[in-house]
Amino acid sequence: MVTITAAGASELGTRAKPAFSLDDLNPYADGCPSRRLLDRIGDKWTVLVVGTLDDGPRRFSDIRRSVAGISQKMLTQTLRGLERDGLVNRTVYAEVPPRVEYELTVAGTTLLAPLKALERWSIEHFGDVSASWELYDDTHADSAES
């Protein structure tokens, strides 16, 4: 069913846009909900966390170790977000040392492909970009070279 209300677009006032048609789903529009997905993808950790889940279910601490530098708070927050998005399943095992496993849903798996593509791109083109950095910084060494 899923009735989509234009939450967040209401404060614009003038435009009475009750719902979004599929044609309106271009991420370049300001109030467009699909932009929220890009925002989520764009957050610092989502890409990395999802990336660690392609090998099957993993425990909280396990993921934490895989993604170097992530704090407990951010991992929890990221996982909650992904769970809310329906991209990750959270399973709690009632044991004495609590065990929680996270696993990609079917939808989550579909996201994995483009994400891995990005990952691959950043690895493959690191050399080019790094070279470009030096060139740029060299060319623009006119001010503030410290």
Which positions touch DNA (CB under 7 A)?
A: 43-45, 59-62, 64, 69-74, 76, 79-80, 90, 92, 97-100
Q: In the chain, count of helices (H) and strands (E)?
A: 6, 3
Is 104 strand, coil or helix? Answer: strand
Task: Compute the least distance from the CB of residue 4 to its own copies, in Å.
Answer: 6
Judged by CB under 8 A, the residue of 51, 60, 74, 89 near its own copies is: 51
DSSP of 73-102: HHHHHHHHHHHHTTSEEEEEE--SS-EEEE
Task: Compute the least distance from the CB of residue 26 to its own copies, in Å.
Answer: 7
Task: Compute the least distance from the CB of residue 23 to DNA, in Å.
Answer: 25
Nearest to 35 by CA among 6, 3, 75, 74: 6
Task: Compute the least distance from the CB of residue 83 to its own copies, in Å.
Answer: 7
State how far the Cα of 23 lies from the Cα of 40, in Å rounded to an integer.
21
Q: Which residues lie near its own copies (CB under 8 A)?
A: 2, 4, 25-30, 33-35, 37-39, 41-44, 47-48, 51-52, 66-69, 83-87, 107, 110-111, 113-115, 117-123, 125-137
